[in-house]
Homo-oligomer: A and B are copies of this chain.
Amino acid sequence: MTKSFEELLDQYAEVAVKVGVNLQAGQRLVINVTVDLAPFVRLVAKHAYQAGAKYVYIVWNDQHLNHAQLEYGSDDSLLQYPDWVIKTVVDFVKNGDARLSIYAEDPNLMADIDPQRLQIVRKVAAENFKPLRDLTAAGIHPNYAVISAAYPGWARRVFPALSDEQATAKLWDAIFAACRINTPDPVAAWKAHNANLQARQDYLTAKRYTALHYRAPGTDLRVGLPQGHIWIGGSSVFNNIECFPNIPTEEVFTLPHREQIDGVVSATMPLSVQGKLIEGFALTFENGRIVKATADKAEDHLNHLIDLDDGARSLGEVALVPHSSPISQLGILFYNGLYDENASCHMALGDAYRYNLENGEGMSEEAFNAAGGNTSSIHTDFMMGSGLLDVDGIHSDRTNEPIMRQGEWAFTV
């Protein structure tokens, strides 16, 4: 029996609360979301309260207000930031509460804004987020999930030929497919998928590769892996609760050694940063640092991004996703990191996750850096996978093993 749109939407909200966040009775839940998604958020709140939430608090955001500030605000106004929002989220995290981020935006909205002004607000935001990053670095995480949801402002960029209504409906269909909501038992489907991802993470971690070698058209990159690196896929245990930090998720990822990245990597999809699209870009690395960054479009934005701080010029994550993943098979460019990164092998500029390194949580920044972990105020994924990508694992004795061939896993679990 086919599910109605209302059933699918309700089950999606339920999966976000029960599988994604895995909210426990008595926990508070803080949700970050755009005002455009109010009707969907109300459904999520219903499921959260039904699951015993002590309180559901929404941190509403609105890209259009940010745009009004960037377009009409004084230079002084750009330096203002609602730090009480960060304080609230920090209070929730310290208190052992749960968090849900609903990430959805119009990737083109800031196209007419001066890049210098965008750079200022980006930097101010990054500085204000530091207390939250410090908690994460100390290994204090809420049980949390990042999901997306469809609304016209985003959907019309994905399907520009359709009406807003049709585009939004089609984007919801893609979300339901990618998140396994259109299966008879979405919760069971997530369990099976998770078993596969975790078998691959265990296989790769056990191999203790010293480096990866990426080859594809425009890409020939050697990425060192630090001693004690940990591959992660699917669910995680945060706050003593098993949650799915990303829904959907298809990746298995670890952290690179920040001083051992050499060669060239070419992006295979555009990168949307604060509403600007950077297209056709390539990065050249020497000893872990970008020494050259070129792009067909918005090259200045790319350079602003890697100039943000020292760590923005290196990598914090390498992630493997088979080219045949369900999201990739949808054949849609989502202009949304959560979806596009799960359609493709990718890497992240900037901050590395402490939990990708043995004992990384609780390390001082200096110790983490010395062990090879990168730190930065940004963590920005870009896609570099394709059906033409080969990835090898390199052992300490310099022997190689295929990990991926033509974009697909080259080992079985």
Which single member of B49, B55, B73, B84 contacts A53 (CB below 8 Å)?
B73
Question: A32-76, CB under 8 A of B: which get 1 and which 0?
Answer: 000110100110011001101111111010101100110111101
> A87 within 8 Å of B by Cβ?
yes
Q: Pick the residue among B57, B65, B71, B72 that contacts A41 (CB under 8 A).
A: B65
**How many copies of this chain does the complex contain?**
2
Would you call B80 and A68 a contact (CB within 8 A)? no
Inter-chain contacts of A57 with B (CB < 8 A): 82
The CA of A77 and the CA of B54, in the complex, are separated in Å by: 5
Query: Interface readout for A81-103 with B: 1 if CB under 8 Å, 0 if not?
Result: 01010011001000000000000
CB-CB under 8 A from A58, the residues of chain B are: 60, 62, 65
A35 CA to B31 CA in the complex, in Å?
A: 15
Query: Within 8 Å of chain B (Cβ to Cβ): is A257?
Result: no
A258 CB–B CB distance under 8 Å: no
Q: Which of A41, A73, A84 has the most chain B CB atoms inside 10 A of its CB?
A: A73
User: Is A28 positioned at the interface, with any CB of B under 8 Å from its CB?
Assistant: yes
Determine the chain B residues whose CB is within 8 A of the CB of A71 once the complex forms: 46, 49
Residues from chain B with Cβ under 8 Å of A69 in the complex: 45, 49, 55-56
Encoded as 1 (CB less than 8 Å from any B CB) or 0, chain A from 233 to 258 comes to 00000000000000000000000000
When distances are taken between beta carbons in the complex, the residues of chain B under 8 Å from A64 are 38, 42
Known: A54-B76, A76-B54, A84-B84. A49 touches B62 (CB 8 A): no
A54 touches B74 (CB 8 A): yes
Closest to A28 in B: B80
Contact at B62–A77, with CB atoms within 8 Å? no
Chain A residues close to B by CB (< 8 Å): 26, 28, 35-36, 38, 41-42, 45-46, 49-50, 52-58, 60, 62, 64-65, 68-69, 71-74, 76-77, 80, 82, 84, 87-88, 91
29 intermolecular pairs with C-beta atoms under 8 Å apart: A26-B76, A35-B38, A36-B38, A38-B64, A41-B62, A41-B65, A42-B62, A42-B64, A45-B68, A45-B69, A46-B68, A46-B72, A49-B68, A49-B69, A49-B72, A49-B73, A49-B74, A50-B72, A53-B77, A54-B77, A55-B73, A55-B77, A56-B65, A56-B68, A56-B69, A58-B65, A60-B60, A84-B88, A84-B91
